[in-house]
Amino acid sequence: MAWLSVTLETDCAHAEALADALMEGGALSATIEDAAAGTAEEKPQFGEPGSITTPGWDRSRIAALFDPAADIAACVAAAADAVGLAERPSYSVEEVAEQNWVQLTQSQFEPIRISDRLWIVPSWHDAPDPDAVNLVLDPGMAFGTGSHPTTRLCLEWLERSVQPGQSLLDYGCGSGILAIAAAKLGAVPVTGVDIDPQAVVAAEANAERNAVSARFLDSAAPLAGQFDLVVANILANPLRALAPAICGYVRAGGHLALSGILAEQAAELIDIYAPWIPLAVADTREGWVCLAGRKPGGSAC
């Protein structure tokens, strides 16, 4: 059986609501992407680091999948009316052959090699190197599947930095990938916090799947104590605002790593954190940086 793929464009303000309205009107799925993708006007969305953002593009393309018996014109008209569009959007319809959608989706996610000994492996794949430190992690609702440059930067920093028995805080834990990696590298105890309750639930499930011990909390919950290592893979704006709090969680002599920072933002973040912890660029990848430094005082570790 062939399905019908309906494609239409709208503005950023209506894209999410229109996609939801199409789903409510009978669409089996609806995805949103940059209508300018692949052109000079394409705008990247830097959403993976554990921070709530407002995604959107000046013009968004919605692709919705419908049963072949659906009245497409009526569905599009009803969705446009539901979200208050002044004009009905034009659309195109294409037949899509029936496929094994689960298999197709899974085939897009292969194991990711972070280093010689660190891999991220989807649960449906065999580990390419069973003797490596393998993080079993599937794409999901929470940020952090390992494909984003900032996540890789932090994983590489953890591999270089974690010593068995050190305590670690993953501030803005998303899927829990950094906390889980730290635990597998020998950190203990490991704690993660996130502003998104869904991320906390996902992180707990991922830790259980990886058979590691880690505690995950909503960022609104009280968090006491200091840690040998603190890593925060969020974005520049929350890193600016949270500098005193984040630095307060690092014990004297402990280490801090920050990412989710574009290269051109590095100098400003280094200046902001200077009163508490001297930071420097530890590594760069695809225009992103990881800043790291040691808090003065205490014994070196």
**Which residues are part of a known binding site for S-adenosyl-L-methionine?**
151, 172, 194, 233
**Residues 114, 184: Cα–Cα separation, whole Å:** 14
Our CA angle for 179, 51, 144, nearest 5°, is: 45
Q: What residue numbers does the annotated binding site cover?
A: 151, 172, 194, 233
DSSP state of 128: S
**Residues 288, 209: Cα–Cα separation, whole Å:** 30
Task: Report which of 292, 214, 218, 301 is spatially closest to residue 257, judged by C-alpha positions.
Answer: 292
Contact in structure between 40 and 132 (CB atoms under 8 Å) = no
Q: 219: Cβ–Cβ under 8 A, 6 or more apart, which residues?
A: 193, 194, 195
Q: Which residues, listed in sequence order, are joined to residue 3 by a DSSP beta bridge?
A: 96
**Residues 243, 222: Cα–Cα separation, whole Å:** 17
Tell me what percent of the chain is helix, strand and coil, each rounded to the nearest 5.
Answer: 30, 30, 40
107's tokens: 């085939």
**Residues 270, 247: Cα–Cα separation, whole Å:** 12
Phi, psi of 14 (to 5 degrees): -110, -5
Residues 171, 175, 176, 177: is their CA dihedral positive or negative? Answer: negative
DSSP state of 30: E
